[in-house]
Homo-oligomer: A and B are copies of this chain.
Amino acid sequence: MRQHTETSSSVFDTGNHIGMMFSGPSTLRNFMISPNAASAPIARRRGRPPDPHARTRILTAAESLLNDAGYLGVTIDEVANRAGVSKKTVYRFWPHKPALISDLIVERSAVLPVPDTGDTRAELATLFGLIVEYLTAGHGRTLTLLVAATHDDPGTLNRLRDQVVTPRRDIGRRVLQRGIARGDLPADVDIDAVLDLWNGLVAYRLSGRPAALHRHTIDQLVELAMTGHIPRLPQS
């Protein structure tokens, strides 16, 4: 039977990933235990259990290949070779290449929280730094490619959104909300717009050409936010 169906027990499509947002980077074989712990106590599995090291080695191999050859240069054969694993094993864990790369990004995308320091300006700067760091590190770039390459694969897309985009957004949202609560930011700030503006700037600078983003510009954007010169929600 296919392991990667739409049914709930799939590694790839398993839902309820909210808890992850607070706990940092995801763990291997994400979230398989907790959601089923209560509802599926029996369902005993027989036979030899899958090698947990295999999955790790595959992801590591995929990552190195991604760095070496780019997204389109990643070959399942080569991933399997580098991982010392058979192709069959790769396809046991992921239904197709985009899913593998997607998982790779999900796991490698640390969603670091911005601690509440009481200093809104400092928190905004930290947030901006996280954005730059993430998108510069390589995974952010690959993420963009992945989205472009999987425009007809809503499953992978949703997974990426739920596992990577949304958690990262929530980190930013929380920082801005704290700023509002402290009275440092206007109450009607359009949080999504601000975050997309900042993320978009960094992503756009990276795509195509290696144009530098100066510290100066970042500071200005933070300052504009602190002075309330940022998009607001409509009054409706």
Contact = CB atoms under 8 A, between A and B. Distances in A.
Interface of A: 70-73, 141-142, 144-145, 147-149, 151-152, 157, 160-161, 165, 190, 192-193, 196-197, 199-205, 207-209, 211, 214, 216-217, 220-221, 224, 227, 229-232, 234
Contacts of A73: 151-152
Given A72-B149, A165-B208, A216-B234, 5 more contacts: A72-B148, A144-B147, A200-B205, A203-B207, A204-B204
Contact of A148 (B144, B199, B200, B201): B144
Nearest to A98: B72
Contact of A144 (B144, B201, B231): B144
7 contacts: A144-B207, A145-B145, A148-B148, A148-B207, A196-B204, A200-B201, A221-B231
Instruction: Determine how many copies of this chain the complex contains.
Output: 4
Contacts of A221: 231
B207 A204 contact: no
A199 B205 CA distance: 10
Contact of A232 (B147, B193, B220): B220
Nearest to A151: B70
Given A148-B141, A148-B149, A151-B141, A231 B208 contact: no
Given A144-B145, A229-B229, A234 B214 contact: yes
Nearest to A204: B200
A71 to B, nearest CB: 5
A55 to B, nearest CB: 22
Given A141-B151, A201-B197, A208 B70 contact: no
A128 B216 CA distance: 24
Contact of A201 (B151, B196, B234): B196
A147 B208 contact: yes
Contacts of A151: 70, 72-73, 141
Contacts of A211: 192, 196
